Structure formats: C-alpha cells, structure tokens
Amino acid sequence: MSHHIVEAKNLEFTYPDNTHALLGISFRIRHGESVAIVGANGAGKSTLLLHLNGYLTPTSGQVRIGDFPLTKETLQEVRRTVGMVFQDPDDQLFMSTVYDDVAFGPLNLGLPIEEVDVRVLKALDTVGMTHLKDRPPHRLSSGQKRRVAFATVLSMSPDILVMDEPTANLDPQARRQLINLLSTFKHSKIFATHDLDMVMDLCERTIILHDGKIKADGPTSEIFQNERLLAESHLEKPFRLQGCPVCC
Amino acid sequence: MSRLETAFYDLGHLDLLAEKNTPIHRLDPRVKVVVTLLFILYVVSFDRYEVARLLPFFLFPAVLIGMADLPFGYLWRKLLLVSPFVLFIGIFNPFLDREILLQVGPLGISGGWISLLSILLRFILSVGAGLLLIATTGFPAICMSLEKLGAPKVFTVQLLMLYRYLFVLIEETIRMIRAYTLRSFAKKRIRYPVFRHLLGNLLLRTLDRAQRIHMAMLSRALTGEIRIARQFKFGPAELFSLAGCIVLLTFMRFADIAEFLGKLILETVT
C-alpha cells in the first residue's frame, strides 16, 4: 500500500518573529514505518510535527499525506488521517470526562452517535482505560492521562500517528507499559523525542534534526553507533549502548 | 500547605462524592436539575416573615443526604463558609424593623428578627440544595443536562471548560506561589509588585495553554462547534421521582403543613 506515506518536500518555515525554524527539510515515510525525529532543544522538532497535520503552513515547500498534498481543501481529511498526540495531556484532554474527550474527534467527523459509542469504547479498550470512562481528566494520573490522550486520537481511526514526547513525565513502569502498547499499533508512527532508548525499542529509522536541517537520516542502529554525529547534534548514545559502569 | 491548596483538595472532594453509586446518583441529571430549581424557586417565593412554613422543606435535603449517602458534616461546613455573607444581608433587619410581631411570654419578638431568621433558613435551604445537586450529580453532568434542557451552548461549553481548566490553573498558581514562598523567607504576604508579576505571568501562561488547546482541538477535526455525545436516559424511575417531587414540593409550598400539624396535635391533646 502506498497511501499512508508522509512526505515533506523542501520544507521551510519562518516564524513571524523571523526565527528560521526549518531550512529545507525533505523526507519520505512509508506505510507502516516507525520513525524517530530526534535533536537538541530548539532544533525544530515540534515545528516540523505541526506541519504534518496542517496546523502550520510552510513558508515554502510542501507536505504530502497519502496521495494528496496538504492544502486548505484537504485539511479535514488530513487531520483525520494523521492522529496527533501532544506533549502535555492536559492540553489534549479538554473535555470534562474521559468518555466525552474520546468522543470529541468522531463527533466532529460527523459519525452517528451509535458509531461514536462503538469507537470510543474500542479506543478505550485498546489503551486499557475503559474502567475510567466517566472520570474527569484532572483525577487521572499522568500515565492514565497519556493513555487516554492516545485513545482520543485512536477513536478517529487514523492511519498515521504523530507523537510529541510520548514518554515525557512518566514513571519507568508507565513508560514501559506505554512502549509496549505503542509496539502493538500497526499505524505508521512518527515520534519527536529525547528518549533514545525508546527509539531503539520502537523505531527502525531515525532522523536527526539540527538547526532546522536534517543532519542524518538512516537506520536507528547505525545512527546510534556514530558517536561523533550524536555529539554534534547535542545527543548521547542511548544508555543501553553505553558500557555498564558497574561491570566494566 | 497554603489556604489555596487546602481549598483545591476540598474541591476535589466534592467530585469524589459525585462518583458514588446510589439511586440518587444514578438518576438522570435533568430530573435533579429541574427539581432543585423548583425547590429553590418555592423556598424563595415565601413571604418575608415566613418561618414555620419553611421548616417542612428541610425534609427534602434530609432525605437526599440519607439516600445519597453524603457526609452531613462536610456539607454543613461548606454552608458555614458562605454564611457570613448572608448574615450581613439580614444583620440590620432587627434594628430597622422593630415592630413586635410575636409575643412569647414577656419577650416581644420584632419583625426584624423574624425576617433575619427567615433569610437564614432560606439560605440554608437554597444553597444547601445547590450543594446537594453538585454532590449527587457532578458539575459536568449538570452543565450537560442544562444544555439538553435548552440552555445556550456557548454558556454550557464555557462552564465545562471553566471547570476542566480550573484545576489546571489552580495547580499552576500553587506551583508559582510555592516557588515564591520558598525564596521569600520570612515575608508572609506577597508584595504588591511581585503579585502583579505573578498574575501577569499566569495570564501569559494561560494564553499559551489556550493556544495549545485550540491546536489539539483542530487536530481532532474541530469544525467550530463543540459536540457532546452524552446520552441521558429518562426511564420510569426518572418519571416517578420527577412527578413525585413536583407534587410533594407544590403541596409543601401551597398547603400549610406546619399549621395543620399544630392543629392536629392540639386536637389530640384537648
């Protein structure tokens, strides 16, 4: 299948205050691929992600999602196709109960109520949060909030998942559970993250952004072995690849 | 812990109460909203010297607290918290209205005292009913039922968002005040110039968050209208309790139960 591709062609973006955030980004992500976008703070990761669902419009260049370019006309379709999970679940969960929040997307897509109900329960079941469906979001733990945030996106049945720091602020166990959950998803996945160990678990491909440009794009295993490249991009070898300080 | 923090956890407690599973909690929120509105309307519609006929209305909150398994002490403390405001509304009545309306032995009670008592009773009943509504239904469900009952959507959605982000905002404020307190040592109160900065900072953070929330809404295909899926069911239990409450409250409002009981007792004694 070719229709779940995400393609950026020579993407450039300048913020109104004249910060050049992206300087000619090009890549092509194929169906079912799992890709990490890593880089220093301010390298342009979040800006890039916001282009993938049309929140920001590139100054020049183009984004293609599936078979069509991202334009005003295709915006709604693209936003259904690309499920975006933001870094702070408090931003993502804006309705007053978990159920209503997960139902928000499907309702906007104009689905009938019965179908919405089916989708909401299925999405909550996938992330294992069905028992909390009537809770207000402010009474959930960070890990639970994160799972519900995923459910809010899954209920729209997207083909592509875009995630900004999915493992930030989670305790190690919640993080591991989330990684296990993500590994069961069959969607094309794009992560912006600093959690390189997670990248090793989930992504076969890594793109390094540095100062608004792509510094490297290749198999995760190769990129993480290149210490010079990592150091230049303000990164570090994942802990798992470093020698154990106790045994060595 | 600061007073703000205590109040914050207290607010969460009301939410917890609303999550209980009793026959009252399970009722369609619309029924509870309508009955509470009717109750308050009846209570405030009495004449200003009325005391005796207000008393039967205490039956309603008493039964609710019992059936919904709510902690009386907690709700009572909430009422006391607001009571000073109400007390000040009526505090001058005894001085302004000195006409003796009731003679108890040698003691003449003026109309002012009676109206003050009446105001206090009405306050306890109406604010108490509001508290009970929140404690048995939960704020979100009340907003949604208001919408189903025909309240403007702009209004209900605003209330829902307010309630959702009230907690986020308070937490943010608590963190800021905590950071301030830890570095301000002996000074107890926040100085005005600092307070101004804290407030400004909070506003900026709120604007940022609003933008991020809007972003999250857009990426979930927001079309400009916020839709809520919640379905309420109006079954036999709802019909029965709605009709029962309306009949009972209307009876208590228009029939003088206190006088009737008094007569009954007098007749049995004599």
| pLDDT tens sequence across A10-35 | 999 999 999 999 999 999 999 999 99
| pLDDT tens sequence across A60-90 | 999 999 888 888 888 888 888 999 999 999 9
Residues of A in contact with B163 (CB under 8 A): 96
pTM of the model: 0.82
| Domain range summary for chain A, segments of one domain joined by + | 6-237
B54: domain range? 3-150+240-269
* Beta-carbon-side half-sphere exposure of residue A86 (alpha carbons within 13 Å): 23
Residue A57 has what DSSP assignment? -
Whether residue B233 is contained in a domain is answered as no
Closest CB to A108: pick one of B167, B216, B220: B220
Query: B112 and B134, same structural domain?
Result: yes
Query: B94 and B17, same structural domain?
Result: yes
Q: List % helix, strand, coil for chain A (3-state, nearest 5).
A: 40, 25, 35
Query: B101 and B21, same structural domain?
Result: yes
The closest alpha carbon to B65, from B121, B124, B122, B10, belongs to: B124
Residue type, A29: I
Question: How is domain A6-237 classified at the architecture level of CATH?
Answer: 3-Layer(aba) Sandwich (3.40)
Q: What is the mean pLDDT of residues A146-159?
A: 93
Residue A244 has what DSSP assignment? P
Stretch (H or E) spanning A5: none
Whether residue B232 is contained in a domain is answered as no
Query: B79 and B12, same structural domain?
Result: yes
Query: B139 and B30, same structural domain?
Result: yes
B219 to A77, A104, A133, B30: CA distances (angstroms)? 11, 11, 22, 32
Residues of B in contact with A120 (CB under 8 A): 229
Cα separation, A248 vs B195, whole angstroms: 54
pLDDT at site B65: 93
A98 min Cα distance to partner chain B (Å): 11
Residues of B in contact with A109 (CB under 8 A): 221
Whether residue B235 is contained in a domain is answered as no
pLDDT at site A86: 92
Helix (H, G, I), strand (E, B) or coil at A148: helix
The closest alpha carbon to A45, from A210, A228, A231, belongs to: A210
A183 min Cα distance to partner chain B (Å): 23
pLDDT at site B184: 80
Mean pLDDT of chain A: 91
Residue pairs spanning A and B at CB distance below 8 A: 89
Contact flag B143-A96 (C-beta cutoff 8 Å): yes
Reported as a pLDDT band with limits 50, 70 and 90, residue A248 is: low
Cα separation, B125 vs B117, whole angstroms: 12
Contact flag A116-B229 (C-beta cutoff 8 Å): yes
Q: Return the C-alpha torsion angle A179, A183, A188, A194, nearest 10.
A: 30
- Indicate which of B219, B222, B226, B230 best probes the interface with A, i.e. most A CBs within 10 Å of its own CB: B219
Q: Are A226 and A196 in contact (CB under 8 A)?
A: no
pLDDT at site B2: 67
- Indicate which of A15, A90, A134 best probes the interface with B, i.e. most B CBs within 10 Å of its own CB: A90
B2 to B7, B184, B201: CA distances (angstroms)? 9, 15, 20
Residues of A in contact with B226 (CB under 8 A): 104
Residues of B in contact with A138 (CB under 8 A): 12, 164, 167-168
Whether residue B225 is contained in a domain is answered as no
Strand arrangement of the beta sheet that strand A160-164 belongs to: A82-85, A160-164, A188-192, A34-39, A205-210, A213-219
Closest CB to B160: pick one of A96, A117, A153: A96
Query: B189 and B111, same structural domain?
Result: no
Domain count, chain B: 2
Instruction: Please give the radius of gyration of chain B, using alpha carbons only, rounded to the nearest integer.
Output: 24
Whether residue B142 is contained in a domain is answered as yes
B10 to A69, B78, B86, B137: CA distances (angstroms)? 51, 10, 22, 17
Closest CB to A100: pick one of B168, B212, B230: B230
Stretch (H or E) spanning A50: helix A45-52
pLDDT at site B18: 87
Contact flag B164-A137 (C-beta cutoff 8 Å): yes
> What are the pLDDT tens digits along chain B (270 aa)?
567 777 777 777 888 888 888 889 989 999 999 999 999 999 999 888 888 889 889 999 999 999 999 999 989 988 888 888 888 888 888 888 888 887 888 888 888 888 899 999 999 999 999 999 999 998 888 988 998 898 898 898 889 888 888 888 888 888 888 888 888 876 677 788 888 998 999 999 999 999 999 999 988 888 878 887 777 888 888 899 999 999 999 988 888 887 888 888 888 887
Cα separation, B143 vs B158, whole angstroms: 9
- Indicate which of B220, B225, B230, B233 best probes the interface with A, i.e. most A CBs within 10 Å of its own CB: B220
pLDDT at site A1: 44
Question: ipTM, 2 decimals?
Answer: 0.86
pLDDT at site A195: 92
| pLDDT tens sequence across A182-201 | 999 989 999 999 999 999 99
Closest chain A residue to B212, measured at CA: A91
Q: Are strands A6-14 and A160-164 parallel, antiparallel or unpaired?
A: unpaired
| pLDDT tens sequence across A107-121 | 998 899 999 999 999
B117 min Cα distance to partner chain A (Å): 39
C-alpha A236: how far from chain center: 21
pLDDT at site B179: 87
pLDDT at site A172: 93
